[in-house]
Amino acid sequence: MDVTGPMPVLYVISDALGETAEFVGRAAAAQFVGIKTRIRRVPYVRDEAHLEEILEEAVAEQAILVYTLVLKGLRDYLERRAAERGLKTVDILGPVIEALSKQTGMEPTHTPNIIHRLDEQYFRKVEAIEFAVKYDDGKDPRGVLYADVVLIGVSRTSKTPLSMYLAHKGLKAANIPLVPEVIPPDELYAISPRKIIGLTLRPELLNQIRTERLKTLGLGASADYANLERIMQELEYARGIMKRIGCPVVDATGKAVEETASIVLEILFKGERNG
């Protein structure tokens, strides 16, 4: 089929990547067989000056403006200035946002590129969780070199649950158990002590926790693992390692994982600011 007249031009304008608007534009153009539509995507439009430049070019081509702008001020500006120039506009997100706002009674955040930010946060969290599992309990000390934070301490000082909690915050956490009979990995001394957090508990509480742990395993409470004297020796050994490294130490006695994590995050934040 022969088609006369100028080639239709769509300007896809967005304060993010513009993928959504471009997809809609191409889907619409596909409905017109035999007409070749040119689509020009203009991403990351964040101010009126940029819009003015686009409008000047659009006038010359009599382009249709298809846009996904979440900043209401920019949407209003584009609509007004396009109308003054006789340009057609299609607001893809605006009507849906308005409908949702009326239905929920909530105001939208008007945050550009928010879906990509959420995607990034999600994938970072998944990656951090996988990291915590892979480098839990000193399985592979090489993880120390790539971790955002390394937790060290004797057995049952909440290293694993704390690692997982921090992973859900997007931090890659490795943890290394400190045992008198096992030399700590060299990797611990190869990274900044500001990335290492020592965990400790009162001996009596550790004794209770380990005793309960042995019961769940069907073992007697008299095992050396839960012996109070042995526990005190382990804690003293761990304190020596932590002092040698020069890392911060957190006493997790009487604290929920969330409380300990809050302290750890504050220490890391201060370390970044002072670094």
Helix axes 159-168, 257-274, angle to 10 degrees: 70
Angle in degrees, CA 252, 256, 262, rounded to 5: 80
Q: Is 86 a known ligand-binding residue?
A: no
Residues 112, 116, 117, 119: what is their CA dihedral angle, to the nearest 10 degrees?
Answer: 150
Q: Is 255 a known ligand-binding residue?
A: no
Q: What are phi and psi of 253, to 5 degrees?
A: -60, 125
Q: Is 260 a known ligand-binding residue?
A: no
Q: Is 215 a known ligand-binding residue?
A: no
Q: Is 75 a known ligand-binding residue?
A: no
Alpha carbons 80 and 116: distance in angstroms, whole number: 29
Q: Is 163 left (phi over 0), alpha (psi -120 to 50) or beta?
A: alpha
- Which amino acid is located at 9 in the chain? V
Local structure of residue 113 (DSSP, 8 states): T
Q: Is 37 a known ligand-binding residue?
A: no
Q: Is 222 a known ligand-binding residue?
A: no
Helices (H) and strands (E) in the chain, counts: 9, 8
Q: What are phi and psi of 8, to 5 degrees?
A: -60, 140
Q: Is 156 a known ligand-binding residue?
A: yes
For residue 211, which of 193, 192, 194, 231 has the smallest C-alpha distance? 231
Annotated binding site: 153-160
Annotated binding site for ADP: 153-160
